[in-house]
Structure 1
Amino acid sequence: MDAGLKRELEEKVHAGERLSREDGIALYETDDLAWLGGLAHEVRTRKNGDVVHFNVNRHLNMTNVCTASCAYCSFQRKPGEKDAYTMRIEEAVRLAQAMRGENLTELHIVNGLHPTLPWRYYPRSLKALKEALPEVSLKAFTATEIHHFETISKLSASEILDELIEAGLESLTGGGAEIFDWEVRQHIVDHATHWEDWSRIHRLAHEKGLKTPATMLYGHIEEPRHRVDHVMRLREMQDETGGFQVFIPLRYQHDFQDMKDGKVRNRLQARTTMASGADALKTFAVSRLMFDNVPHVKAFWVMHGLATTQLALNFGADDMDGSIVEYKITHDADDFGTPDKLTRQDLLDLIREAGFRPIERNTRYETIREYPGPDLELRESPQAMRV
């Protein structure tokens, strides 16, 4: 990137001007990671100060049986396959109740696209979970699952969302987005939910008063221009609805071999590596700079590792997600030693070690509790980061 373009982009960011598609592509092309991080940190600080948000949540996957065979997915199993499972509602409730400790505030529910489970299983599950844990917010189902529910129920997405909201739904999850551009999407996705239906369902959710997350799966066969296009689509939709609370770049997980049956389910593995830490930081920074109308950017530590996540807090991210236990969907795939659980104290320590002030939030990003910031005396000398 030449000095003139660099100055032009700096001036735009300093002035709070909206960046263009061409600007986004240019930012991905820079080799000056420190400069890019500084710009993103300026915007992040303008929006969120010295705060890093986190919550105490648990993930619940009631079935891994799925009709789709997406090229990147290591989670799905076919009916009758070894390790395929489907929970009875009572079983899901018992498991959720066992997760209740440490003042749990959110249950995050994502499943496979089960071919034979009846539609009623899903609202009944939410209702039973809400009755068992009335103080816990239910963040459940991707737009892909809602689209699947339309097929199996013959109801509209609007009717489905109404029933789920009545049963206790407070937010959709952001999954099913991957990369929206068809040039890439046709090679990685094996279900019928693409940009048109994904955006339609989230728009409906926003119209009904739900706030939702948006995600992007990066670091596989896409190019930077596809990442920029993905963010541009979401940014335009956010201009219309204002319903996205947070943007979550999700790093594609490359290395996988199921230790129980030896089967490699990731069909992209032969032609991919995985985004480096530097590429991850660049993606956070460009996303923060481009996505000017969403309040938060989340570094999902399970998919990035702890050290990269701490660094991402200086590259635009202001949220570390939650404590999480047994995150199966990508933890089946990673091979770089990330833990599957962090306690509240772990999160507080990680945030403070990175130089920020922790705030515990709920699903709606309302503050539950503010905590003291980093120890200023410790900041006078270099401190080891967790890996």
Structure 2
Amino acid sequence: MQNTAETGPDAPIDVTPLLDDPYAAYAALREAGPVHRITGADGSPAWLVTRYDDVRSALADPRLSLDRRHAGPGGYRGFALPPALDANLLNMDPPDHTRVRRLVVKAFTPGRVETLRAPVRRVAEELLDAMAERGRADLIADYAGPLPITVICDLLGIPQHDRRDFLAWSDALITPDPSRPEGMKQAIGAMLEFYTGLIAAKRAEPGDDLLSDLIAVRDDAPAADGSDRLTEDELTSLAFLILFAGYENTVHLIGNAVLALLDHPDILRQLQQNPAELPAAVEEFLRYDGPGPLAIRRFPTQDVEIGGVRIPAGESVLLSIASANRDPARFPAPDALDRGRDLSGHLAMGHGIHYCLGAPLARMEAVTALEALLGRFPELRLDVPRGELRHRRTLRSRGLISLPVAWETASEQVFEA
């Protein structure tokens, strides 16, 4: 792989290695240079930033906008959601970002999240109960997936009978089927119809849930300066973001963490014996193989220099969280899973004003899910050869398609005794 500073903007690198073996590919890119020109899967050009110091600084740089209105002509071809799903925090700069985030942040404070720990543990135990006597399961489909969707749907007050449809729509967006190009468009249309109907139902009959609270914020009289008011599109889009991001990132965090433990049985045994160490371990799982390899794309509002490379205003900038978290200049022996390392400053949840809103909830869910799983199945093992596991082939998320595991059932233990 070649350095953009040497090859120029007309020689983009091939991103295929980033899909096939991302951490090795990022290591080669870091060594070659701090910033590289790439062509994304959607055909749009972008600048990829790979080194820790540059990524961390850029995450907090106000000159790098999330608002697509700052994208230059032809510089961004990403899929455009309808306004009612797109007017969210991932596409906003201050002051709108500040206003909207302030209205929802109270739902995700550590104190509020702590009140959800017991319900999350109950859901985890119910899922494990359903799996226990089978002796094997796909940990993604049977555990890591259902847990966060149940938690987020409960938080928003989404009826049980609607949750299966949401999973299908989410999968269509996360991993589009190339043989069905219309599938993504259909999923987006169905999601928009679903959220519009759900908000109307909650408006008519409010419940004790976050979505009802957000509707009240939208409908109640605003402050004199209008600063505490959501638009209808912001309301709909915020519900979409909380549900979609809360599901996708957490399922991949849990799945990646379990695989890391299966690859490191000594650490697995240590955590089974000392579950109080799981919160610190989750931070290392986030650094080692986090669910979000790239921060949301950014657009310079003026020409900027990153790592000695000049990036023109309006062009797409991709900040590689995965590469930064494996940068040996910040984390010695970065490819090793090391629970004893200094993890202060890892970037898996972002940095600056766009730091992940749901980080406390994701961390709590991961710790609770792992504690319940390791406590229930002490002999957990991979149920297929390691080389058969496959990750989703996308730059924007890092997650397993499936994770077949097995364990000794209670009936087998009795028979052996």
TM-score when normalising by structure 2:
0.26
Max Rg structure: 2
Higher relative contact order (CA 8 A, sep 6+): 2
Structure with more helix by fraction: 2
TM-score when normalising by structure 1:
0.27
